[in-house]
Structures are given as structure tokens and as C-alpha cells.
A and B are shown apart, each in its own frame.
Chain A
Amino acid sequence: MGGYAAFVWPAYAVTLAVALLNVAWARRALARSVAAARRRLAGGGDS
């Protein structure tokens, strides 16, 4: 990287990590909402 490796690679690592974390975070939020909805419906009432 022409001497800039110590700056370029961490920049790529941080951004790609943020991108992947957002995907995981969103999927986890959806899974939790689905589970909560199932519990509410199985419980037969509003929580």
C-alpha cells in the first residue's frame, strides 16, 4: 500500500465491520420482534 497500509487497511476493516454489524443487528432485531409477537399471540393478549 505504498507505506500507507497502517491507515488504509484499518479504514477498510472499520467500514466493512460496520456494514456487517448492521446486517447482524437488523436481523437480530427482526428475530426478537418475531419472537415477541409469537409470545404475545400465544399468551392470548396484549403485553
Chain B
Amino acid sequence: MSWTWFHRLGSPPYIYGLARRLTPWLAWPAGALIVAALYGGLVLAPPDYQQGDGFRIIYMHAPSAWMSLMVYTTMAVAAAVGLIWRIKVAHAVAASCAPIGASFTLAALVTGSLWGEPMWGTWWEWDPRLTSELILLFLYLGYMGLRGAIEDAQRADRTSAVLAVVGVVNVPIIHYSVTWWNSLHQAPSVMRVGKPTLSTAMLVPLLMMLLGFTLYFAAVLLVRLRAEILNRERSASWVREVVGT
């Protein structure tokens, strides 16, 4: 089996060009899906029989939480690839993921609080799901802080990559926390064995929103990745063509 395609992905000029070409193909569908999902979630989906219109926070909270976990997993996989195969581009991917993931983890925590107050009567509990999600935020911030604190780029890559890989154990803990332990947070409605427990009219906008945010992440990641690659490819000749001097 030819591994050329894999090795090409490690080439900074190739990835830079690919990222530039792919970004609009991800960004526009992402925007369209998110707008359509907003309409579906705010207008078309009926109110919940218990939570009324309050349940509509799900269309912001669930995608934010999904982003926080998906982005961390992507970051950890990229970090592992960088450590194992010593591919600079992989470290650049991991570095690009961190700010995106951290901000959506914060959004998940804030929207969760906004949902928890009217439904559970509390803004915060040291509950397994909430606590492990907060730890995820600290892992993201720790990764970014560690990176920023080490001057040598290679050491910064490798040290922060170890943190990212070790921290990935938190991802399944967050997901299974609501089934393993007593939690205020409800059990999974979508990512579960068997049919989702939401009605179709509520589920479809949610799935559209999840897909829309995933494509959005890919688009934003590719923009950040180009910046990371340029920062690392100091005097490479291909850079001259790309930035136009």
C-alpha cells in the first residue's frame, strides 16, 4: 500500500495550499447548516412538555459540548502523531485546535449554567459531568500556557503534546460520567446505543447544528493552521510565493 498521501500531509507547503483551497468549501456549508438549524430549533421545533421553550438552549449547549470534546480528541490525536512520527504539521494542527476548543468548552459551561438555573435550580454543582468539563477547560488552558512558556519551538511542541495525550483520558470520563455516577446532568440522548430519545422535530435541527459546527471547526482550524505553518516555516522558499513579496 502506498503511503505517499500520508507523507504529503506532512509537507507544510502542500498542507498550506490544501487548507487555503478547502476552507470556503467548509465555511459556506457550515454557515448554511447553522442558519437552517437555528430556524429549525427556534421556530419549527415544538416546545418541550416539561421544559417548555427553555429546552431550546440545547441547540447551543449540545454543539458547544460536542465541540469541546471533538476538538480535544482531534488535538490529542494530532499531538500523538507529532510525537510518534515527529511531523511538525501535526503539532501545528494541535496548536491550532487549542484556542477553538477552549472557547467552546467555556461556552458549554456557560450555556450549561444558563440551562441549569431554571431547570435544576442551580448555576453550578460539583457534579461529575460539570466538574470533568471544567477540568477539560483547565487542560486546554494548560496546553496553551505550557506552549507559550517554552521558547524553543520543538520542545514546546513535544512537551505540550504529552499533556494533550495524557489529558485525553478526560474525554471518555466526561461522556460516561452521567452513566457511571449519580449526576444531575441527563444521560446521553443522541450518542447512545439504540435510538435517540429526542423527537424527530427536535432532533433534526440538533443534528444539523452538530454537523454545521463540525464543518465550522474544520474551516476555522484550517485558517489557524495556515498561520501556525507560516510561523514555523521561517525562511522556506515556498513562503515567498505564498505571501507575495
Q: Are A29 and B227 in contact (CB under 8 A)?
A: yes
Give the interface residue-count category, chain A.
20 to 34
Per the bound structure, the CA–CA distance linking A16 and B103 in Å amounts to 11
Residues of A within 8 A of B81 (CB): none
Stretch of B129-137, B144-152, B216-224 with 4 or more beta carbons under 8 angstroms from chain A: B216-224
Residues of A within 8 A of B240 (CB): 41
Q: Are B226 and A33 in contact (CB under 8 A)?
A: yes
Q: Are A7 and B99 in contact (CB under 8 A)?
A: no
Give the interface residue-count category, chain B.
35 or more
Which residues of B from 48 to 99 have beta carbons under 8 Å from A?
51-54, 56-57, 60-61, 63-64, 99
24 A-B residue pairings within 8 Å (CB atoms): A4-B52, A4-B118, A8-B54, A8-B56, A11-B115, A14-B107, A15-B61, A15-B111, A18-B103, A18-B104, A19-B216, A22-B103, A23-B220, A26-B227, A29-B224, A30-B226, A30-B227, A33-B226, A34-B243, A37-B243, A40-B235, A41-B240, A41-B245, A45-B235
